[in-house]
Chain A
């Protein structure tokens, strides 16, 4: 009797746990493990060939033309990371600090800053592409209207500004996320600490840098790590605004686009090339995993337990 009840319980638990586990294994874990294996094989189209050790890795890292494109894309990812660190996370921190005062209308401003976050990257990218059109876009039209016509330029059409334009569009899209994560962190600071700080100093700057910033360290850890992962996975925004080739002249090429082009081909490049594509994916994956773990561990040390 007891044992039959126990088996029944075991069956019941299995019935609950196995189907979700199966989905995870089949469509998440198995593909990721396979990705590692695939990088060590030669590929002819969609057919797997011989085991070639590190040949694919050697190609994407050291052989022309792969190596140059890899380096070009990687450099752009680094630029994207640091630029968004300032434009997205830095601005987000300042906005959170402003919202935290709960002044009149703060609720409205909070909803407004998060509105673009819920929109699809495709909508945001296409919208800014129209705004940045050299002749008819709202940006250049307004510059001309206020007499700054000399500043009007083909933002997305020239090497010097294209990447930055896409970065700014990305910052507009996502700044609400770090803002509200930082705000939640600030709201958790105990009021006794703030009262004590108010007794000590009148300077908002001192309060911000010496009290608030260290105490929102847990939020900063999360937001920095997510930005790092996002910056090195960056794909949709440059795809929509700069195109699959990272135009103009590869000025907006990043690892995500380069990986996609190598793996699945593009209009200008040839067809699928799964070997080097898989090698790139593994390298990006390892780079993100190692560096984001280091960032998380380093930043965690800074966090203060209250």
Chain B
């Protein structure tokens, strides 16, 4: 009996050990490219080619300074901030408005409207880029940030309405009814009583939208040609062409571009993981 137990413990131990090795190996594969990228940002070409894995001299910041001062990196970064920020604000405002109406009021057609939003979840807008291009040209929005913002709002609304409607429905009625008894207007009830309770769902919705919008490359490629308006992913491809042979600068550009989202992810990893898998987990 004791012997059997011991062999069992040993077997579990061996199995767990194997799993631990797989996990450690995988984490190395996941992190090593990012670590090499950051290391290379501090190296010269010769150092990168001869010893790509060696620790660099972290005081050698010349490459990073060159990216910051000699390229349009800062401009691209600002453009990405403006486009992403404006899109997220609009998505949250409009998404919460629709979700609130659908979740808190009974009215004719509310189910149809919810279904309409849900249908939007499955539409790949990339394939409609030809009519979208002609439409934007007619509206005078080609080479304008608004083309991107409007597209991101339209593609971001379905998931946001989906998440927010579910959340707002789950809120209790008592507070709302009490306020209504006291004669508060519908707008006042929504603004002062319900909205403060919705914040957690707003964080999830914001994160779910922020990553694809910040990272998007396809729509800027179609709609933005003016260098002054390019977003970071798009600007990065331009910049890689210009500094094609200076690998230290290339790795610096990649490192600086990846840094904002990596830092945000490390600080908020739980929210990121929840937010980005929210649509796939019922």
Contact = CB atoms under 8 A, between A and B. Distances in A.
B178 interface: no
A35 B120 contact: no
B127 A285 contact: yes
B262 A118 contact: yes
A284 B127 contact: yes
B161 interface: yes
Interface residues of B, number: 89
Contacts, number: 241
A122 B217 contact: yes
Given A21-B113, A30-B135, A101-B16, A121 B217 contact: yes
Contact of B101 (A13, A99, A106, A123): A13
A98 B97 contact: no
A236 to B, nearest CB: 5
Interface stretch (A124-132, A156-164, A246-254): A124-132
Interface in B188-242: 211, 214-215, 217-218, 222, 232-234, 236-237, 240
B100 A16 contact: yes
Nearest to A289: B122
A79 to B, nearest CB: 21
B27 A108 contact: yes
A38 B128 CA distance: 10
A46 interface: yes
A259 interface: yes
B181 interface: no
Contacts of B116: 21, 24
Contacts of A180: 273, 277
Nearest to B207: A118
Nearest to B101: A16
Interface stretch (A68-76, A189-197, A217-225): A217-225
B153 interface: yes
Contacts of A98: 19, 22-23, 26
Given A122-B237, A222-B280, A21 B125 contact: no
Nearest to A141: B52
Nearest to B150: A27
Contacts of B37: 127
B29 interface: yes
A165 interface: no
A32 B48 contact: no
Interface residues of A, number: 90
Q: Which of B105, B232, B280 has the most CB of A within 10 A?
A: B280
A240 interface: yes
Contacts of B71: none
A233 B127 CA distance: 8
Contacts of A38: 130-131
Interface stretch (A59-67, A80-88, A273-281): A273-281
B82 interface: no
Contact of B131 (A19, A34, A229): A34
Give the most central of A17, A176, A233: most B CB within 10 Å.
Answer: A17
Contact of A240 (B98, B135, B157, B237): B237
Contact of B127 (A109, A111, A113, A281): A281
Query: Looking at chain A's contact residues, is the secondary structure mostly helix, strand, loop, or mixed?
Result: helix
A199 interface: no
B126 interface: yes
A269 interface: no
Contacts of A185: 281
B233 A31 contact: no
Contacts of B53: 138, 142
B9 interface: no
Contact of A172 (B16, B30, B95, B100): B30
B86 interface: no
Given A16-B98, A17-B97, A172-B30, A114 B281 contact: no
A51 interface: no
A48 B137 CA distance: 14
Interface of B: 8, 11, 15-16, 19-20, 22-24, 26-27, 29-31, 33-34, 36-37, 48-49, 52-53, 94-95, 97-98, 100-102, 105, 107, 113, 116-117, 120, 122-132, 134-135, 137, 150-151, 153-155, 157-158, 161, 186-187, 211, 214-215, 217-218, 222, 232-234, 236-237, 240, 247, 250-251, 254, 257-258, 261-262, 265-266, 269, 272-273, 276-277, 280-282
10 contacts: A28-B155, A31-B129, A95-B23, A116-B34, A126-B250, A131-B33, A219-B280, A278-B131, A281-B127, A282-B127
Given A111-B266, A118-B265, A219-B280, 15 more contacts: A10-B107, A32-B128, A103-B23, A111-B269, A119-B261, A120-B261, A121-B217, A172-B33, A176-B30, A177-B276, A226-B280, A240-B237, A264-B222, A278-B130, A281-B130
Interface of A: 9-10, 12-13, 16-17, 19-21, 23-24, 26-32, 34-35, 38, 46, 94-95, 98-99, 101, 103-106, 108-123, 126-128, 130-131, 135-136, 138, 141-142, 172, 176-177, 180-181, 184-185, 202, 204, 218-219, 222-223, 226, 229, 233, 235-236, 239-240, 256, 259, 263-264, 274, 277-278, 281-282, 284-285, 288-289
